[in-house]
Amino acid sequence: MNKKIPLGTGLAILFIVMAATIAITMKVSMSVYNNLIGDLTNRTSMYSNLSEVDELVREEFFGDISSDSVNAGIAEGYIKGLNDPASYYLTSTEYVNYYNKLRGKMSGTGLTCTFNKETGHLYVTAVAISSPAEAAGIKVGDEITSIDNTDVTAKNYKSLLSSLEGEKLSSVNVTYVRKGETKTENLVMGYSLSTVNVKMVGTVGIVSINAFYENTISQFKDAIKTLKSNNCTAIVFDVRNCSEGSIKYATEVLDILVPVATDGTAAMATAVGKDGKTIKTYPSDSDCIVLPMMVLVNGKTSGPAELFACDLRDFGKAELIGTTTNGIGTMQEVHQFDDGGAVVLTIAEILPYKSESYNNKGLKPDYEITLTDEQSSKIGIMSEAEDPHIQKALDILNQGSTSDNAEK
């Protein structure tokens, strides 16, 4: 049976609901307002300083002002002001190169080099299979003395190295020395950048990874096939000086090596935003490689490479040899602007499988071995016998093999 509510009572209830709604709205509005006011004060100060600089420059600067250059400089300066080594601004040209490289679409010569302080040349540490460099006959151990008629020096070798990467069908002249004989070859770009190199030392495979790009996974699978075909009994992963790439591509490589994640965060990696909420998880499947492993790291092992090393240890697959890593345990997102430029911005912290975050701390190796400055500059150049990190790994792995055989 329906009961009618008296008009007065109904109005009273309506007023109470309205009052509660207004109170809640006011509370939320005040919170938003206070945040806006606080942010407005900071923004006003920032814009005021920028306005003063702009006024001074336009009145006093002796020269022409390029609006495009100034705007790019403002954006770059803002990001630099964050004091985050993993966040940075890219010009439109830099963004195209970044995008192509990250996805493995950028073609190159197939050469991997490092600067040799003793000779002042670029020492060839790897030549990719089926690459223009291999077709031209360039080999590991050759020393590049000039690129496009510019002599290699300690000051310019980094910029010259970038000349070995480029768009398909572009070309570069490379002059190199082998046993006192000098040769020059014109290399036409037509090979995806090499990120994984593999070689055998006895029955132990040495897998060097210099970046975690989109094409790293296919190259890594090829490396594993090579190891299997050579009856590999153990693997040494070398991620020293490795810093480029993304967390996504690092987890794709890890997924080949580790079993399904069940402990810890139940994921190989978890990205957590500044509000403490999970942005993304990276699960693993049940496939894995059951072989003894070691990982070589140093102070330039950074970002995705640190996750790779950390997770292999967390899963109980490997121990670390070298020195404490760089300590960049974050995830970045790319935001492109209308002018073609972009910002690579840190948006989350990465939590590995079991360990605490290594962000701003780095990973401490299980076997700490510090190289001399000379040895550090020769990573990739030294023979296995001269490299203390590789020798330590081989000693441990070979001892393990001996123990296994003794038990059998």
Say if residue 7's pLDDT is above 60. no
> Which residues, including other chains, have CB under 8 Å from residue 391's CB and lie 6 or more apart?
384, 385
Question: What is the predicted pLDDT for the residue at 171?
Answer: 92
Query: Is residue 35's pLDDT more than 70?
Result: no
Asked if residue 328 has pLDDT above 80, the reply is yes
Q: Is residue 284 very low, low, confident or very high in pLDDT (cuts 50, 70, 90)?
A: very high
The candidate with the shortest Cα–Cα distance to 165, out of 246, 105, 217, 88, is 105
Residue 18 is predicted with a pLDDT of: 64
Residues 6+ apart with CB under 8 A from 401: 203, 233, 234, 292
Mind listing the pLDDT tens digit for each residue in 127-139? 887 789 999 999 9
> What pLDDT shows up at residue 318?
97
Report residue 242 as tokens: 């490795």
Evaluate whether 386 touches 392 at the Cβ level (below 8 Å): no
On whether the CB atoms of residues 265 and 277 are closer than 8 A, the answer is no
Which domains are delineated in the chain? 107-192 (2.30.42.10), 196-331+352-407 (3.90.226.10)
pLDDT tens-digit readout, 341-368: 999 999 999 999 999 999 999 999 999 9
Q: In this model, does residue 63 exceed pLDDT 60? A: yes
The mean pLDDT value for 165-171 works out to 80
Write b or e for each residue in 247-264: b if 16 or more Cβ atoms lie within 10 A of its Cβ, otherwise e. bbbbbbbbbebbbebeeb
Burial class (CB in 10 A: 0-12, 13-18, 19+), 140: middle
pLDDT given for residue 159 in this prediction: 92
Q: Quickly state the pLDDT bin for 402 (edges 50, 70, 90).
A: very low
Highest mean pLDDT among 4-13, 52-61, 62-71, 217-226: 217-226
Based on C-alpha coordinates, what's the Rg of the chain?
Answer: 28
Q: What is the rounded CA–CA span in Å between residue 42 and residue 48?
A: 10
How many whole angstroms from its chain centre is CA 290?
26
Question: Smallest Cα–Cα separation from 177: which of 138, 149, 126, 150?
Answer: 138
Does 208 or 57 have the greater pLDDT score? 208
Model confidence pLDDT, tens digit, residues 80-123: 999 999 999 999 988 988 898 898 877 789 898 999 999 999 99
Quick: pLDDT tens for 136-162: 999 999 999 999 999 999 999 999 998
Say whether 187 sits in a helix, a strand or coil.
strand
- Mean pLDDT, the chain, integer: 88
Q: Give yes or no for residue 390 having a pLDDT over 50.
A: yes
Instruction: State the Cα–Cα distance between residues 245 and 249, nearest whole angstrom.
Output: 7
Band of residue 197 on the pLDDT scale cut at 50, 70, 90: very high
Tell me the CA end-to-end span of the chain in Å, nearest whole number.
Answer: 87
What is the structure's pLDDT at 201?
95
pLDDT of 8 over the 90 cut:
no
What 398-404 contacts at long range (C-beta under 8 Å, 24+ apart), as own/partner pairs, is 398/204, 400/234, 400/292, 401/203, 401/233, 401/234, 401/292
